[in-house]
Structures are given as structure tokens and as C-alpha cells.
Amino acid sequence: MSPNDSTFEQLLKEYEGKVLRLCYAMLGNRAWAEDTAQEVFLRIWRALGAFRGEASLSTWVYAITRNACLTAAERMKTAATESLTDPDVLRRVQASHLERARREPRTEVLAWLAELPEAPRQALTLFYLEEKSYKEVAAALGAPMGTVKTWICRGRRALVERRLQAEAREEVRSGT
């Protein structure tokens, strides 16, 4: 094993979880997040020899991850547009959503999270995945800590309000 291999192996162990979580936060889809995380590590492996340590390793890894996610997000959009023009695919997607909603009623909070604007959604997802560390979220998203705090507060407030509205609707329904 060359020094490059052992460095990469170490880096993989340290960052695989963080990269996957950032990919999931940015893309909001597990399958796409896994594919993109794999792509990120291939990019890292190809570029590791050129890493000169001008930025910290985590900054470099997160920058590669964010770039890969932006590319993946574009591909996701294209794939979704193409799929939705196919009535068979559309029917299958609707059926699977109905089935999932029937089996997992508690995932409504994840559905509300998915409906938030991009920045609060990404920050909030990472916030819960990174054990509520503002510092870690700010580093991963490459955004200032104050901005990240604002996104997270806005996102949590929106989710709480969605929850209270849902509870109020439920009370009205059960009362009638």
C-alpha cells in the first residue's frame, strides 16, 4: 500500500459519515446522496496528490462535496423532469408515496422538512444529523455561523408552526 492509499483510507474513515450526511442534507434523497458520496471520494482520491494543504482538509473535502452535490442536484432535476413526462413512472411514484404514507404516518415531519426553502432545509437536516452542532453545520455548508443559526431558527420555527396547525386541524376533525 502506498502512502497515498493509507492517507486516503484514513480520510475515508474520518469523513465518510460527514460526507454522506452533507450529501443527504443538500440533496434530500438517500439514493442520490449515496451515489454522490461515492463520487466525492473518487474525486478526492484522484485529487489527493494535488492537495497542498492551503486550506484545511475538512474545508477541502466539504468544498468537493458541495460541488459534487450541485452537479448531482442538476442531474436530479433533469431526471425528475424526464420521469414525470412518463405516465407509467408518474403512476408508480404516486402509488409508492401513498403506500409509504400509509405504512409510516410519523414521517410527516420529514415531509414538512422537505417542503422548507433550500437553505433552512439543508441547515436543519445537518443540524439534526450532526448532533445539533452549529459549528459542524457551518463548516459543512461553508457558511458563516450567524447565517446558519438564522436558517436553523427559521426552519425549526416553521416546523413547529406546521405541527401546531396539524394538531389544531386534528382537534377540529375529532371534535366534529
Partner 1 sequence: MKCEDWQEVMLDREQLDPAEEEVLSQHLASCAGCRAWANALAETDALLASQLPAQLDSAALHPRITRALRRERSWMIGAPEMLEALGWNALAVLLMAGLLLGSNWEGWRLWLAAAVTLSGSLAWAGRVLIKDWIIP
By CB under 8 A, residue 51 contacts partner 1: no
CB atoms within 10 A of CB 171: 10
CB of 87 to partner 1, least distance (A): 29
CB atoms within 10 A of CB 97: 11
By CB under 8 A, residue 145 contacts partner 1: no
- Burial per residue of 4-42, b for 16 or more beta-carbon CB atoms within 10 angstroms, e otherwise: eeeebeebeeebeebbbbbbbbbbbbeebbebbbebbbe
By CB under 8 A, residue 113 contacts partner 1: yes
Distance, CA of 139 to CA of 130 (rounded, Å): 11
Single-letter code of the amino acid located at 121: R
By CB under 8 A, residue 110 contacts partner 1: yes
By CB under 8 A, residue 121 contacts partner 1: no
Q: Which of 115, 167, 170, 171 binds partner 1 (CB under 8 A)?
A: 167
- Select from 64-72, 94-102, 114-122, 152-160 the region that touches partner 1 (CB under 8 A): 152-160
Distance, CA of 152 to CA of 143 (rounded, Å): 12
- Select from 11-19, 77-85, 95-103, 137-145 the region that touches partner 1 (CB under 8 A): 11-19
User: 171, 129, 126, 131: which is closest to 151 by C-alpha?
Assistant: 126
* Binding footprint of partner 1 on the chain (CB under 8 A): 2, 4, 12-13, 16-17, 20-21, 24, 30, 33-34, 37-38, 41-42, 45, 48-49, 106-107, 109-110, 113, 124-125, 128-129, 132, 149, 153, 156-157, 159-160, 163-164, 167
